[in-house]
Amino acid sequence: MPNKIDEVTAGRLERVAPRAFRLFGGAAAAGAGNTLEAAGGGVQQSSTSGGLPNAADARAIAEALKLESARRAVTGGVAGRDTNIEADAIAAQLVARANEVLAQLRGGGSPGDVSADGAYALESVMRVRGRPALNVEGDSIEPINEQKHPGSEFWQTFRSDHENDLVGVASVTGAVMVKDRMGIQPNWVQGTAWLIKPNIVMTNRHVLFPPLGGMRLARRVPGATTTARFKTDLEVTIDFSFDDRPSVGSLTCPAREVCFVSDDSDPIDVALIKLGEPIDPAQKLLTPLSISSGSDDYQYIYVMGHPGKMPKVPDNVLAVFGTPNERKRVSFGETIDGGTPGPNEFMHDASTIGGYSGGCVLPFMKKEVIGLHYFGDPLSGNRAFTAAALRAHPVGQFL
């Protein structure tokens, strides 16, 4: 793994320094005398609690790590290792490293110089401060568990009161699934897309045209820069059922054509894909999502996405986050004030990693999309294009 977070790594683990500053507090005094009460291994605090990483965070991280290690042991993944001792040591190291990074930033260090291990340390603490990413289980959402999601008690009511809406949004959000027709590599998920019309989904341009050597899924049509054709050596489908449901009845549609993709120089990173009929004729797509036409300011939001696999992440760090398996999750968080978002964007702090690109952002209070998630940046946090920007853009003709 490179020492600094390069663009490829950034695509897998979105960088976290601004969110950490917001959550932990930018000044050293923010953590002075701050103690968090732990119950059953969980950190009892609200989603907006600050204070520097501390022993309570370490206990919560260790519990999460032990839970994941136990799960992996069932499959033979950690035989011969004392996972309890290992978990406590790793958690202490992560908390110590997180504090080192924060001290570096408070001293004037650049967020761009935060190393990969520093970013993982910050993210591991933030995960136990109440930014859960819950599995979608078909017609239900994974319950918030004190051990698996420490510090997330604040979101219990949001999950229970809005579960039907979450399931409904999940049902029309799918994985951009790619198959190599030559059989050289296994199928993979390249991003997330969601239904805006009965046969059209929205995603990001960079899901189709990833930077820096990523697999390009399509080629632009000469003379028509906002359309593209899928490459013939790849089979691209949108799988709306790629989640953790107990029994999977596949709802998958072929991606027929790219009916719109913003120009490479366009600051709005968006693409639309026209779908064919479901491969299983017994399956039917549900009602598309509507994109907000208002300008209401919402605080609590969620993002639907497909977290990508991270084969290069060390086992001990992977255990802290669980095992991203590309299957659908919903991440809870808040919009962020301040920073330097562009005029067409807003920031949020929901936990996202590579694979969430193209995901929809919705408020809990209204079942309308308010943003298209597209990026995580070390200087400004997670970013999403506003619904107003999408409607004002040429892509708005399709909405």
Is 225 contained in some domain?
yes
Percent share of the chain, pLDDT over 90: 46
Determine the pLDDT at residue 107: 84
The answer, yes or no, to whether residue 365 has pLDDT greater than 90, is no
Q: What's residue 38's pLDDT?
A: 15
Helix axes 17-24, 83-106, angle to 10 degrees: 90
**What does the pLDDT average to over 260-276?**
97
Alpha-carbon 243 to chain mean position = 14
Asked if pLDDT for residue 46 goes beyond 70, the answer is no
Q: Residue 47 above 70 pLDDT? A: no
- Residue 337 pLDDT > 80: no
Structure-model confidence comparison of residues 48 and 37, the more confident one: 48
pLDDT category at 397 given cuts 50, 70, 90 is very high
> Could you give the CA distance from residue 66 to residue 68 in angstroms, rounded to a whole number?
5
For the ranges 126-140, 159-173, 292-306, the one whose mean pLDDT is highest: 159-173
Mean pLDDT of the region 373-382: 67
Between CA 347 and CA 324 the distance in angstroms is 23
pLDDT band at 27 (very low <50, low <70, confident <90, very high): very low
Q: Is residue 254 part of a domain?
A: yes
| pTM for this model (two decimals) | 0.74
As a whole number of angstroms, the distance between CA 220 and CA 389 comes to: 23
Residue 249 located in a structural domain: yes
- CATH number of the structural domain spanning residue 215: 2.40.10.10
* Domain presence at residue 184: yes
- Mean pLDDT for 353-380 is 86
pLDDT value of residue 111:
73
pLDDT given for residue 307 in this prediction:
87
Mean pLDDT score of the chain: 80
pLDDT at 19: 60
Residue 388: exposed, middle, or buried by beta-carbon count in 10 A (0-12, 13-18, 19+)?
middle
The answer as to whether 314 is a domain residue is: no
218 and 235 in contact (C-beta within 8 Å)? no
More confidently predicted of 12 and 365: 365
pLDDT of the residue at 314: 53
Please check whether residue 39 lies inside any domain of the structure.
no
> Tens digits of per-residue pLDDT, 143-189?
998 777 777 888 999 999 999 999 999 999 999 999 999 888 889 99
The mean pLDDT value for 349-374 works out to: 92
> Count of domains in the chain?
1
232: three-class secondary structure by DSSP: coil
Residue 201: which domain range? 174-284
pLDDT reading at 11 higher than 90: no
CA distance 279 to 306: 21
Kindly tell me if the per-residue pLDDT of 374 is higher than 90. Answer: yes
Would 261 be classed as within a structural domain? yes
pLDDT at 229 over 70: yes
For residue 223, the one-letter residue type is G
**Residue 297 pLDDT level (bands cut at 50, 70, 90):** confident
Q: Is the pLDDT of residue 384 over 90?
A: yes
In a domain, 222, yes or no: yes
| pLDDT greater at residue 384 or residue 19 | 384
Place of tokens 């994974």: 142
